[in-house]
């Protein structure tokens, strides 16, 4: 709808480089136009970027003789009362992850404050990774003037089963994404931030294991050491985890005992979250990146990715009796979907630097993905 304030901002940015379409005004629309020989496509895209920094979304179209720029909406200012629930959930997640961290260290968190506070190491590492991931999305969404919620953390604790103390975190975009450039930046910022912090915690965790004997001494204080490993919960490795263990000289850490070391298990979980989010499917971060890179071709890539998950499930169930990924096909079919929705202006392609970064994100996915993240020996 036409807005006087919106028109004033647009007039200030456009500064007579485009002319206002008076006929569009009669239909309540704010549209600018200019002959193609008087302005270039690059200049139109530059105007769109300037409009975006002022909180205005726009859509560019071209006819054989003219460029048209339609001002779509303005949704820069977030609504009030979006702080209480995210903060409450974050505090609850600190509690559930601290409980989990204490249990991973072989301590009863209900027995004493000292036991409970031991879980802070794990809670700090894990929530820092998730927070950095979500804030990467959040800050870029705010940069592009998109109304977005603060991160919602999902606390989870159940005493009779193993869990990480949380189901992760998410943000909600409350406005459409203006173009592929914004989609790419918002989509990739979270995984990159989470990946970097996860690697940092893994390195710190590995270096804090001084020797193999010291490691076994620490584990023996948590539970008796047994040579019989049947039925023991074991974490699946990934390429990057193995590389970091080799670089730091800590390849002697068994994956069945890894969860006793808070920074290591948090970093491992961070890599898992990063990999799952980077799957090139639908509304996942990897789906955003793939759509920005390949446009309509992203749907075919998503179908290939889905096929890969089906094949992986068949192998894991038939050979290892592992159902760890069994829910993912349903999640994709019901919620994530194959087809990525278009941005407001899909004509604005991403540049070479972003394309290189997008391909690097696929490398991160390969390095971080664990084909069987948990299993019983």
Task: Give 8-53 as a DSSP string.
Answer: HHHHHHHTTSSEE-HHHHHTT-EEEEEETTTS-HHHHHHHHHHHHH
176 contacts 248 by C-beta, under 8 angstroms: no
Output the CA–CA distances (angstroms, integers) from residue 18 to 32, 49, 222, 233, 349, in the order listed: 6, 15, 71, 65, 22
Per-residue pLDDT of the chain (377 residues; tens, 9 = 90+): 457 778 888 889 998 899 988 777 765 678 889 899 899 988 888 888 888 888 788 888 788 888 888 887 655 544 555 789 999 999 999 999 999 999 999 999 999 999 999 999 999 999 999 999 999 999 999 888 888 899 999 999 887 777 899 999 999 888 778 889 999 999 999 999 999 999 999 999 999 998 999 999 999 988 888 776 666 789 999 999 999 999 999 999 999 999 999 999 999 999 999 999 999 999 999 999 999 999 989 999 999 999 999 999 999 999 988 899 999 999 999 889 898 988 888 888 899 999 999 999 999 999 999 999 988 77
Q: State the virtual CA torsion across 293, 297, 298, 303 in degrees, nearest 10.
A: -150
Residue with tokens 């592009």: 144
How is the beta sheet containing 57-62 ordered, strand by strand? Answer: 19-20, 30-35, 66-73, 57-62
What DSSP designation does 340 have?
P
Contact 102, 119 (CB under 8 A): yes
Euclidean distance between CA atoms 318 and 162, whole angstroms: 24
Look at residue 271 in the predicted model and tell me its pLDDT. 98
User: Under the phi-then-psi rule, with left for phi > 0, alpha for psi from -120 to 50, and beta for the rest, what region is 221?
Assistant: alpha
The reported pLDDT for the residue numbered 229 is: 62
Q: How far apart are the first and last CA of the chain?
A: 62
Spatial distance between the Cα atoms of 207 and 223, rounded to a whole number of angstroms: 23
Helix H or strand E segment including 309: helix 298-320
- Whether residue 340 contacts residue 316, with contact meaning beta carbons closer than 8 Å, is answered with no
Query: What is the rounded CA–CA span in Å between residue 138 and residue 212?
Result: 41
Six-digit token pair at 177? 């994404």
Task: Supply the DSSP string of 150-180, one letter for each residue.
Answer: PPEEEE---TTS---SEEEEE--B-S---BH
Q: How many CB atoms lie within 10 A of CB 337?
A: 16
pTM of the model: 0.84
For residue 17, what are the contacts with CB-CB under 8 A and spacing of at least 6? 34, 39, 43, 47
Q: What is the pLDDT of residue 75?
A: 52
Distance CA 315, CA 344 (A): 41
Interatomic CA distance for residues 76 and 376, integer angstroms: 49
DSSP at 296: G
Q: Tokens in use for 5?
A: 């304030």
pLDDT for the residue 81: 52
H or E stretch including 59? Answer: strand 57-62
Q: Which of 131, 142, 139, 121 is nearest to 86 (CA)?
A: 131
State the Cα–Cα distance between residues 32 and 247, nearest whole angstrom: 58
Q: Which residue has the tokens 């919106």?
A: 6
């Amino acid at each position: 709808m036409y807005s006087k304030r919106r028109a004033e901002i647009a007039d200030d940015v456009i500064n007579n480089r485009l002319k206002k379409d008076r006929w569009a005004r009669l239909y309540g629309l704010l549209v600018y136009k200019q002959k193609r020989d008087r302005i270039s496509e690059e200049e139109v895209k530059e105007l769109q970027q300037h409009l975006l920094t002022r909180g205005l979304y726009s859509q560019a179209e071209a006819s054989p003789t003219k460029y048209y720029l339609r001002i779509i909406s303005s949704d820069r200012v977030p609504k009030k009362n979006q702080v209480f629930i995210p903060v409450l959930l974050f505090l609850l997640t600190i509690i559930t992850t601290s409980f989990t961290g204490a249990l991973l260290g072989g301590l009863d968190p209900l027995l004493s404050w000292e036991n409970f506070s031991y879980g802070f190491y794990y809670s700090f590492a894990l929530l820092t990774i998730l927070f950095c991931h979500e804030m990467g999305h959040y800050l870029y969404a705010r940069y592009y003037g998109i109304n977005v919620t603060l991160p919602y953390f999902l606390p989870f604790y159940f005493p009779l089963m193993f869990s990480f103390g949380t189901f992760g975190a998410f943000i909600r975009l409350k406005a459409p994404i203006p173009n592929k450039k914004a989609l790419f930046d918002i989509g990739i910022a979270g995984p990159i931030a989470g990946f970097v912090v996860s690697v940092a915690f893994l390195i710190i965790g590995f270096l804090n294991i001084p020797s193999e004997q010291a490691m076994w001494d620490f584990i023996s204080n948590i539970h008796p050491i047994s040579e019989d490993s049947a039925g023991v919960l074991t974490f699946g490795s990934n390429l990057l985890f193995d590389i970091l263990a080799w670089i730091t000289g800590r390849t002697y850490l068994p994956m069945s005992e890894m969860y006793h070391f808070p920074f290591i298990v948090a970093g491992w979980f961070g890599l898992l979250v990063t990999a799952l989010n980077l799957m090139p499917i639908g509304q996942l971060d990897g789906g955003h990146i793939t759509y920005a890179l390949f446009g309509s071709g992203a749907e075919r890539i998503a179908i290939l990715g889905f096929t890969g998950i089906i094949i992986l499930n068949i192998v894991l169930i038939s050979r290892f009796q592992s159902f760890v990924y069994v829910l993912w096909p349903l999640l994709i079919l019901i919620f994530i979907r194959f087809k990525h929705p278009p941005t407001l202006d899909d004509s604005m392609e991403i540049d070479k630097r972003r394309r290189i970064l997008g391909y690097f994100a696929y490398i991160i996915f390969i390095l971080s993905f664990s084909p069987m993240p948990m299993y019983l020996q």
